[in-house]
Structure 1
């Protein structure tokens, strides 16, 4: 039995959200243990209210904790906590080093080779794509399933999978509710747009998003644009291509809300139209049906973990390249995304809106265990 457990994932928004099922699984397996999560301080909103955690450690890896000396000081802090089990859920140098040097009695998970000798047991992550010559082979299973395999292989337990989870503080719930009431009426049916992504090759064309927004507005839906400050320029570019860019039913929250308030707003939306991005996974955690487009991203590893959602995969044979700039495209028009047409996307947008009657996510029933989204395999004949 373990009494003091540290879980490590200091990567991006989506990576952290895909760690949340592990927290619930560990709480069920070790109900009296002290569970601590180590995460990037930028994403504190995502996990600080998680009901399965006793504590969080946050590392400012882009700021005060960036230097080697600061990392060593942080490792000293981890060692002082005397964890008896450390689980590392991302295979990068910093996380691997902290886990390997934590001083814990048992250390399991993913590791870079340099630090593997410090682990009790190192597992492969079959969710990640790999290179085979010039080809990139996608992973074989979802990232959540790989994390659960870490628990099975390293701890000998059959973990419970409760899906992605995010709990908001009462303060953030109130902030989101107030903002919603300022912009929308109770009867409004709102479709959320997240058009930004960390790579250009993950972004569907802004002109395509503009056409979708116009079609939804014509049918009486309201539109809410989300995203961070880095997405302001592309949202404005998208809006500039809309026929109804000055519609009072178009609302832009881009760069204006925290991740927690974003989540609070998403739970009132009827659908999220999004790229492969952190907000996509937040939407899943908030029970919002998702329609997403995958170009460079590998489908098996990182699809929206929700059986009601739809993923539309590019027909380009180079999928999933995993590169950030498309050699076959033109600037911000990667070939894989050019070849996911608006008509195909809107077909599934309309289908989900009809299926769930445009109800807000907070009124939709939970669906435990139903996490395999529908993957639509486009062909060249669909273009």
Structure 2
């Protein structure tokens, strides 16, 4: 029986959120163990209050812990904590090295050579796309399912309990979100969250499409709340300039103004989220918000919103999922994957979900444990 467990995921927001079901499963399997999560320090407020962990370690991989010597020093600090089990949940060199150098008697998960030589059990990650010549073949299952396979096959946990994505807020973040909401909205307002940015250009639906969707919702009296980080300010401003209702008082811009935890606190009060494939999408899932999302370059099986109430509209383009950050096609074919997801198709499912859940804010919707397969609308098959 393991007594001191470390789980490592040093990647982006979405990757970290998709690790949280593993924490819940480990807590159920090893209730007496001390469970530690190692994550990127930028995302501390997403996990520091997670009820399934005893403590978190944070690595400033872009700052104080950057570079080979500092990586080795950090691994040395991890080693002194004497973990008896280390689970690495991303196959990159940094996290593979920390796991391999941890000194733990048992080290399992994903790894890159040569660090994999020090692992007791190296697992493949079938959620990731792979190359076959010039073809990109999508993964075969969701990232969470791949992580759960690590628990089954490397640790012998026959049926890991999947409690879904988990995000709990500090009292201070919850209070800040409450105060900000009261400043912006009345109790009667129904608010749609818009997250229009994404780390890849090929993940972004067109700003004019988002503007059209926002106008259609505003015409029905819905308030629009724009979220995203500082890097999204320009595209949000461009989108708002294209809206007919930009001066209606129904448009609220939080882009670049709130922390991730406060973002989560605001999302739980929204009635729906219209979003790209992005970190905030997965935060929305954890906050119980029904989601409509559009996937162009992103592989559907691996990273769909882990929520049975949500809808994913998949591009009809044959080049899906290219996995390329910037489209290499020219002319009208540039970003065709997103251009050919029409507003009418997306709004069909927006109206459907608003009707189905009666415009109730996310925090009033009942939990739905175990129902994590979102509905995928494949436009290439004429499903709309």
Query: TM-score, normalised on structure 2?
Result: 0.98
Match of 2:95 in 1: 95
* Deviations 1:182-232, CA, capped at 9 Å, x for gaps: 000111110000000000000000000000000000001000000000000
Distance 2:168 2:331 in 1: 41
The match for 2:25 is: 25
1:85 aligned partner: 85
Cα deviation, residue 380, structure 1: 7.9
CA distance in 2, matches of 1:218, 1:329: 35
Any gaps of 5 or more consecutive residues in structure 1? none
Counterpart residue number, 1:67: 67
- Counterpart position of 1:6: 6
Shift of 1:113: 2.0
Find the counterpart in structure 1 of residue 184 from structure 2. Answer: 183
Could you report, residue by residue, the CA deviation over 1:246-280 in whole angstroms, capped at 9, with x for unpaired residues?
12111000000000000000000000000000000
Summarize the alignment of residues 196-235 of structure 1 with structure 2, pairs less than 5 Å apart. 196-235=197-236
Partners of 2:334 and 2:61 lie apart in 1 by 32
Q: Distance in 2 between matches of 1:281 and 1:329?
A: 31
User: Aligned residues, how many?
Assistant: 383
Q: Report if aligned partners of 2:311, 2:375 keep a CA contact under 8 Å in 1.
A: yes
Unaligned runs of 5+ in 2: none
Between the aligned partners of 1:284 and 1:257, the Cα distance in structure 2 is: 18
Deviation at 1:332, TM superposition (A): 11
Inter-partner Cα distance in structure 2 for 1:333 and 1:189: 36
Quote how far apart the aligned CAs of 1:331 are.
10
Partner of 2:298: 297
**Structure 2 vs 1, CA of residues 334 and 382 (structure 1 numbering), >3 Å: closer, same or farther?**
farther
Encode CA deviations 1:314-349: one digit per residue, 9 max, x unaligned: 000000000011122559961100000000000000
Q: What secondary structure, in the 3-state scheme, does the structure 1 residue paired with 2:350 have? A: helix
SS of aligned partner of 2:376:
strand
- Corresponding residue of 2:131: 131
- Cα pair 1:205 1:333 within 8 Å, conserved: no
Q: Distance in 1 between matches of 2:293 and 2:250?
A: 23
**Contact 1:205 1:332 (8 Å CA) reproduced:** no
Equivalent residues of 1:200, 1:332 under 8 A apart: no
Q: Which whole-Å CA distance do the structure 1 matches of 2:198 and 2:227 have between them?
A: 12
* CA distance in 2 between partners of 1:133 and 1:186 (Å): 55
On the 8 A contact 2:296/2:338 being kept in 1, the answer is: yes
Instruction: Quote how far apart the aligned CAs of 1:379 are.
Output: 2.6
Q: In the aligned structure 1, how far is the partner of 2:369 from the partner of 2:332?
A: 41
CA spacing shift, 1:19–1:78, aligned 2, 3 Å:
same
Q: Which moved more, 1:326-335 or 1:260-269?
A: 326-335
